[in-house]
Structure formats: C-alpha cells, structure tokens
Structure 1
Amino acid sequence: MSQTSSSTQVITEELRQWIVEQATSGQPPDAVLQSMLASGWNEDVAIVALEETLRGFLSEHALKNGLPPPVVVPEPMSLDRVPLLDAGDRKVPVLASMLNPRIVVLGQLLSDDECDELIEQARARLHRSETVKLDNGGSEVNEARTSEGMFFERGQTPLCRRIEERIAELVSWPVVNGEGLQVLRYGPGAEYKPHYDYFDPAQPGTPSILKRGGQRVASLVIYLNTPERGGSTVFPDVRFEVAPIKGNAVFFSYDRPHPMTRSLHGGTPVLAGEKWVATKWLREGRFD
C-alpha cells in the first residue's frame, strides 16, 4: 500500500487488493484501518475504502461458494472504537466487543426506573412464550422456550417510544425497521435453548414472514433485572457468556441467514429468582 497525500487520495485497485490481502491473512478491520491511517490516509476515505472493499469481497466469496450474500447490518460502533456510544439521550458504555461473531455488550442502556416501569407495563399481559412456526409463518409453543412473554406494538407507550428511539440512534438503524419490544419473564428452571434469530430460508413459511420488513439482521437483549443465579446469554460457537445485569444489554448482528454468522445463542436456565428481559429485533427494511 503506497502513501498518498490527503488532498489527492483516490481509492485505487491497488489499495483494494491490499485490503483484501490483509483481511484474508487474518487482520481485523480496525488493525487494517490503523495501518492505513499510519500511511497517511484520510480517516473518512480509509473507512469508505475498507467497508466497500470488504463488502465486495464477502459478496464475491459468497457467490463462489453458494452462500447467501451479506447485507448491511446495524452497527453501534464505528471503527474508532470509542468506549462511550451516543444513544441520543444518554451515553452508553461499551463493556465488551467481539468482531466475529459481531457482539457488543452495553452498560446502562436503560435506567433502573425504566426497567421497573417496562416490567409493570408487561406483567398483566404475559402468556406462555411462542416461537415462529417456519412451515407456515404462524407461531407455536416450543419446548425449547420455557418463558412467559408479550409483545408491545412499536411505539405503543411513551416508554416504548423512548427506548426504540434510543436503540435506533445507538445502532444507526431506522426506528421503522424494528419489531415491537418483546418482554419475557423466566422463572426458576426456565431457559431458551440455543437458536438463531434469523428466519431459515429453507422453510416454506419464511417467504410470507419476509413480506413484512425482510430478514432479521440484528438482535438486542436488554436485562430488566438481575437474577439471583443463572440466566446468562450464551454464544456456544465462540464460548462467550454475558451476565444478565439490570439495565445492561447485549447486541449481536448477522449479515446473512446462515450458521456461518456464528450467531447461535441461548438463555441458560434460571437457577434462583427470576429473569426479565426485553428483546428488540431489527429487520432489513420497514416493518409494518
């Protein structure tokens, strides 16, 4: 990669080839970016070159290998890796970040009062949780999910609107591309066994589901209380575990509906007390 003056910087084929070489050798995107900045590249130009080149490379790789092509997904962090993220009405600290799979653990996304209020708004409407039935697009009780839950319509209450606007600002994704908040309660022994949140393209009911907003591309799980024991969120493919701490959240994205995203995740059994969470799923397009 040759140096270039900041006034005449052009994204050349030579630069794109160098970026691909770095990526295929195992260099993470932030390390590649830092190398470009050290060589004199303007940060804005470098970020555009990096993102466009890697997206094109991944699309070409997918086509050659018969895989679904990647899509643009929500992202709470820029490549400069700032420790405090702007969520509009507050700064949200980053507690942990993983690139592959894309996982970001967030602190203090909701206040204690907001957590308590959301629980009380949901409590009277709880029923046995269901999962999407992919053979016809409906829903059903599934033994893998032993919680109680309910859905809010998007923007149904002032609190819901405030949380949704905060999430949209945080991950740079339109409010209208989000499903309504789902609130779940897990009692002692309740769990959600490892699963994917995207809709399986091979299932016959998926096309009808995708008519509303397209695929899911990211998930945000917000912990509304702290259980006495158990109830963590686990990512088995990478042996990563997130503790359920009141007000904190875990974000993860998946750029295609395929296990290669390593977005397999689950909720471990609650061993003492109870666990309350709010889940926000984000779609490719407008969800109406």
Structure 2
Amino acid sequence: MSTTQARQQVTPELRKWIVDQAQAGHGPESVVKAMMASGWTEDVAIDAMESTLRGHLEEQAVAQGLPPAVPVPDAALDESPLYVDAGDRQVAVLQAMYNPRVVVFGNLLSDEECEQLIALAKPRLARSLTVATKTGGEEVNADRTSNGMFFQRGENDLVRRIEQRIARLVNWPEENGEGLQILQYGPGAEYKPHYDYFDPAEPGTPTILKRGGQRVGTIVMYLAEPEKGGGTVFPDVHLEVSPKRGNAVFFSYERAHPSTRTLHGGSPVLAGEKWIATKWLRERRFE
C-alpha cells in the first residue's frame, strides 16, 4: 500500500456516503470528483467507489436470497484489445458483452485442430447425456439431441495444447476444467435453452459439487459449420452467435442463479452438420 493509500482509509462512513450518492442518482464521475475535491487522489477514489458499490450490490443480492458470488474466469479485456495472447496463439476478440459476460473469440482453433478433434472423436460418439441433478449421475435428456464424447483432461498432445490455450486465454487453472467434450449435431438436432451451473435446490447437486465445486464458466468452440442453423443463442439478451469454424463463445456466471442471464442453447441445425467442443470450468480442481 502506498503512503497516500495508507492515509486515505475507506471508513464505514465513506462507504455509506458512496452508496447514498449512488442511490440518489449521482453518477460515478460526480462521486469521484467530489472525493477529489475533499483531498482524495483519483486512483484511490475510483478504487474506493468501485469496491464499495460491488460490496453493496453483493450484500443486496444475498439479502434477497441469491447465492453468494464467486470468482470467475475471464479474459483480460480491460483495455479493449483486438487480440488476446493465449500462449501459442493470438486470439481475436470479435465481440464482448459485460452483463452477462459473453465474449466471442476468433481463430481460437486452427482448421487442422478442428479436423483432428473430429477425427479422434468419431469412433467414440454416443447419444449425449446431461447431468442428472436429482441424483448426481447422468441421464438422456429429450432437450439435448446430439451425439458426443469426452476426452480426459490432458488425454493427448492435442487436447493438452488446447486446454493450456484456454487456461491462458481466460486466466483460469487447467486443473479446474472438466474434460473436453465433443458434440455432433445433425439436421434437426438441438440443445434447448438451459443453464450450465448446477441448481443448488436440486438434491443431487451436493454430490456433483464434490468433484470441483460449481461450474463458473463455459467455452464453446466451433469445429465444423452447418449449412444453416445451429447458432448459440442467449434468449435473455436476444443474442445469437454464429457457429463459425475455429471461433468460440465464452461466458461466465458468478452465481448459480438466473440473474446471471446466462440462459443459452444450441438452435436446431437446419441443414448440414455442426460439430463443437465444449469446456466447462469449475471453481476448484475437477476430479
């Protein structure tokens, strides 16, 4: 902590004043300006305001019965970069949304990597299952009409390279990721809108959480493009991401609640075939 920060402690009285100003409709710029006029340096004033308001919103959310927020993966986009360093690859930032946190990446996978994943997955495909939140197991779900398989984490050089890239891209430990899932959607196949987090109210959720805690992020990578249809949709925010080969859509959810607005689904494939690779990220090491 700098000497200036040491002198300018954020007291309970200051926090209350910041919250009161926000509730009265005063914008962030006017709050910071007033603090600077009272002798606060700009950087300390901004930090104090942001941390106070985040804390207040979290207190309000928990008071209303929402689960507590947890840290989540995210790309380093504070300076609005066109590209993000993913270690062995520069990945393009095509679109970014903050509420919900949705980022569309370009050129995350090469054509060769897409082809290799499909070739390795084909012999192991079976009807896709979903997590059975009532028991903690798996089950066939009529809402999901794809075929799929899982690679073990780090199963081969290709999978390991992609997992390292993802970890670098969204600043999250490799060990917190579930195995890479490959999915095939033929004509008419879809995955109806759903949430990826595990519902705390379901009886099987405590069993599921023992393996690595709650899911906190998802990245969907497009391996093969259908001729028509097959987009990834976010109904709450009227967003659709086209399934362009090599691109990916990432989204995170800081609490297991619909307030995250991360309801999403895979629209029906109308012609051709769609292949995707999905990576779910957990709070802790996934066992």
Partner of 1:177: 176
- What runs of 5+ residues in structure 1 fail to find an aligned partner? 1-5
* TM-score, normalising length: structure 1: 0.87
Q: Give a deviation string over 1:143-195, Cα, whole Å, max 9, x none.
A: 10000000011000101100000000011100000001000000011000000
> 1:240 corresponds to which letter in structure 2?
L
What secondary structure sits across from 1:241 in the alignment?
strand
* TM-score, normalising length: structure 2: 0.88
Partner of 1:135: 134
Paired residues of 1:22 and 1:32 also in contact (CA < 8 A) = no
Which structure's CA Rg is the greater one? 2
Distance (Å, rounded) in 2 between the aligned partners of 1:231 and 1:260: 25
Residue 71 (str. 1) matches residue 70 (str. 2): yes
Q: In the TM superposition, what is the alpha-carbon distance from 1:253 to its structure 2 partner?
A: 0.5
Distance (Å, rounded) in 1 between the aligned partners of 2:67 and 2:143: 27
Distance (Å, rounded) in 1 between the aligned partners of 2:282 and 2:53: 22
Partner of 2:143: 144
Distance (Å, rounded) in 1 between the aligned partners of 2:129 and 2:175: 24
Paired residues of 1:84 and 1:92 also in contact (CA < 8 A) = yes
1:8 is aligned, of 4, 7, 22, to 4
Pairwise CA RMSD of aligned residues?
Answer: 2.6
- The sequence identity of aligned pairs, in percent, is 63
Distance (Å, rounded) in 2 between the aligned partners of 1:25 and 1:146: 50
Partner of 1:155: 154
Q: CA separation of 1:96/1:187 partners in 2, compared to 1, >3 Å: closer, same or farther? A: same
Partner of 2:112: 113
Q: CA separation of 1:116/1:69 partners in 2, compared to 1, >3 Å: closer, same or farther? A: same
Q: CA separation of 1:114/1:62 partners in 2, compared to 1, >3 Å: closer, same or farther? A: same
Q: CA separation of 1:148/1:111 partners in 2, compared to 1, >3 Å: closer, same or farther? A: same
Distance (Å, rounded) in 2 between the aligned partners of 1:247 and 1:58: 37
Q: Give a deviation string over 1:183-211, Cα, whole Å, max 9, x none.
A: 00000110000000000111110000000
Paired residues of 2:10 and 2:48 also in contact (CA < 8 A) = no
Distance (Å, rounded) in 1 between the aligned partners of 2:149 and 2:169: 24
Q: CA separation of 1:137/1:21 partners in 2, compared to 1, >3 Å: closer, same or farther? A: same
Q: Give a deviation string over 1:39-92, Cα, whole Å, max 9, x none.
A: 7634xx678656643442232112221111111110113422222111111111
Paired residues of 1:135 and 1:206 also in contact (CA < 8 A) = yes
Q: In the TM superposition, what is the alpha-carbon distance from 1:21 to its structure 2 partner?
A: 6.7
> 2:155 corresponds to which letter in structure 1?
Q
Partner of 1:41: 42
Distance (Å, rounded) in 1 between the aligned partners of 2:164 and 2:144: 29
Distance (Å, rounded) in 2 between the aligned partners of 1:19 and 1:105: 34
Count of matched residue pairs: 276
- What runs of 5+ residues in structure 2 fail to find an aligned partner? none
Distance (Å, rounded) in 2 between the aligned partners of 1:238 and 1:162: 33
What secondary structure sits across from 1:260 in the alignment?
helix
Distance (Å, rounded) in 1 between the aligned partners of 2:25 and 2:155: 45
Distance (Å, rounded) in 2 between the aligned partners of 1:229 and 1:15: 56
Paired residues of 1:235 and 1:265 also in contact (CA < 8 A) = yes
